[in-house]
Structures are given as structure tokens and as C-alpha cells.
Amino acid sequence: MFQSVVTNSPLRVSIVGAGATDVELAAELSRLLEVASSYGDPSLRSRLNLTVYESAPRVLAAFPPAVSESSEEQLRHIGFTVRTGTRVTAAEPDGLRLGDGSQQAADLMVWAAGVKAPDFLGKLDGIESNRSNPIIVRPTLQTQDDDTLFALGDCPTLTLAGKEHPLAPTAQVATQQARHLAKYLPAWLDGGSLPDFAFHDFGALVSLSDYNAFGTLGQFGVFRGGFIKGRFAQLSHAMLYRQHQHALHGFRKAMTLWTAERIKGFVQPKIRLS
Ligand SMILES: Cc1cc2nc3c(=O)[nH]c(=O)nc-3n(C[C@H](O)[C@H](O)[C@H](O)COP(=O)(O)OP(=O)(O)OC[C@H]3O[C@@H](n4cnc5c(N)ncnc54)[C@H](O)[C@@H]3O)c2cc1C
């Protein structure tokens, strides 16, 4: 980016993957450069050539189609080229290599496709894992062959009965699994039974910087399966973040953090240019 500012040259940014992290990153990057443009180089944003590559037929494949469609529309609206159904096979010094053998030149490449567990997880003796290394667990979160070994959060993979895909590696799943084990493990240690883990989908949200936010309210909230967008979705996203802070730090510290962030937002510039 610095080179682009100095030499007035175009800046080609490619993001590989269009999951929640990638889509949020794309929007933040665009917003950041809009703000940077206002610091003396109004043409900076227009020199940007932004592309998102996704092998699945739509962005945010794990989200309901309404969220995908709205997010893709928003990305295109802020100037991204969205190439779905396009597999990237390698990142090379000058750009990305695509599945059809072609090369797409890029100055800045961000690879954010796929979630892979560390290799050592796939090599643990007597513990079954799949190609991406996560430990395969039973619905009780016990490993396949050992009742005394449990795995939860991002490190296991679990496909619930009647479901086509495994549970996504998200904080929502990790937290519910932790609560499940915290609740039932003491009784199990005393010889009781261990019920299967049941996932309650409270929905998912994706925030596209200041532009917009989209989400679904899941199957267990008050407005089941509802689609939300705009200010309400942005507010829900912000509240989720505060909720996490509250869970981690408690009420007083969370309030102090919130106040400190409000003051910082008021006195500090929105971006660092160094
Ligand atoms: C960029 C990004 C954005 C995300 N956004 C969302 C989101 O918006 N919503 C959502 O639901 N989920 C989101 N996730 C996923 C979410 O963060 C994870 O699903 C969740 O944190 C999993 O919890 P966990 O406890 O299994 O693992 P982690 O939260 O990763 O915790 C594992 C901990 O173990 C520590 N550790 C690792 N190895 C060792 C070791 N050998 N010894 C000791 N300690 C070790 C790590 O340092 C870490 O602190 C996001 C993830 C990323 C990377």
C-alpha cells in the first residue's frame, strides 16, 4: 500500500476465501482505504483493485443464502470483484495460481481459506482424525476409542445425527460444548451417564465494517430463522462483542473497556498510517 501511495500505481489486493473472516476483512480493508484517502490522496481508493476468490458457488457458504446474497451484493457495491466457483491452487511471488492454470497478478495476497488443525493432532496414537487433522469425536465429545478422552471447541470434528456437515469451528459451538461438559462431567465421574451434546443454533452475524451487517437469528431465538440487516444487525454484532467481554472480564471491567474504547475512538484517529 505504501508503494502504491508513493508511486501512484494501482494496488491489486486478492483475498482467498469468502468465509466470515474474509468477507469482514475485505470490507474493513475497503473502509480503511476510504479513510486513508481522506488523508491527502483522494485517488487511493480508486486505484485499488480488490478481488475475493471463493471455490464454493457462493460467498459465506456456511450461512443461509439470504446472508450470502446480501453480503456479495454489498462487496460488489463497494468495488470488489467477487469470483465464486474459482479455486486458487497456489500463492506465487507475483500473484495467485488458479485451478484452470491461469495466473492472477496481485500486489497483496491474503490467504484465509479453510480451517486446518495442527498436524500433531492428526498423529496422536490411537486417536482418529480426518484429513484436516481434527479429532473425530462421538456425540458425547469422547474420542472414538477412548471414553476418558474428550475434545471440544475447534480441535474436534463432530457431525450430529441427521446433519450433512460437521459443526462449524465457531465460538458458539465451543462455548456450548464447554457448558455441556462442565454440567455433565461431574456426574459422569461419579458413575452417571453422559448425554449427547446438542447444538442450539442462535444464528450467525457477519459485519461488513461501517457499510452494513447481515445475519440470521437461528432456530432457538425469539424470531426463529429471521434475517436481519443494517443498523439492527450492526447493533447485534456490537452487542455480541460486548457480551463476550462481559463473559471474559465481568461487568465492571467490561464497562471500563467499553468506556475506554469510546474515549479512544473520540480522541484517536481512525487509522494508523505508519
Ligand atoms: C479471525 C477469526 C475470527 C473469528 N470470528 C468468529 C466469530 O465472529 N464468531 C464465532 O463464533 N467464531 C469466530 N471465530 C472462531 C472462534 O474464535 C473459535 O471457534 C473459538 O475460539 C474456538 O475456541 P477454542 O477454545 O476451541 O479454541 P481457542 O479459542 O483457539 O483457544 C485455544 C487456546 O489454547 C491455546 N493453546 C494452543 N495450543 C496450546 C498448547 N499446546 N498448550 C497450551 N495452550 C495452547 C491457544 O493459545 C488458545 O488460547 C473466529 C476465528 C478467527 C481465527
CB 10 within 8 A of CB 48: yes
Domain boundaries, given as residue ranges, for the chain: 9-111, 121-189, 204-267
Sheet containing 95-98: order of strands: 88-92, 95-98, 103-105
pTM for the whole structure: 0.82
Residue type at position 165? H
Pocket of ligand 1 (CB under 6 A): 20-21, 153-154, 169-172, 174
State the distance from the centre of ligand 1 to the C-alpha of 44, rounded, in angstroms: 35
Second CATH level (architecture) for the domain 121-189: 3-Layer(bba) Sandwich (3.50)
Pick from 75, 82, 76, 84: which is nearest to 55 by CA?
84
Atom 28 of ligand 1: nearest residue by CA position: 154
Q: Please report the pLDDT score of residue 168 as a whole number.
A: 87
The number of residues in the chain equals 274
pLDDT tens-place values along the chain, 274 residues long: 556 666 777 889 999 999 998 999 999 988 888 888 887 777 777 788 999 999 999 999 888 899 999 999 999 999 999 999 999 999 999 999 999 999 999 999 999 887 778 888 888 887 888 878 888 999 999 999 899 999 999 999 999 998 888 998 888 999 999 999 999 999 999 999 999 999 998 888 999 999 999 998 776 656 666 889 999 999 989 998 999 999 999 999 999 999 999 999 888 877 766 6
Index of the ligand 1 atom closest to the CA of residue 206:
8
Are the folds of 9-111 and 121-189 the same? yes
| CATH 3.30.750.24 matches 9-111 | no
Pick from 184, 170, 185: which is nearest to 244 by CA?
170
Atom 1 of ligand 1: nearest residue by CA position: 21
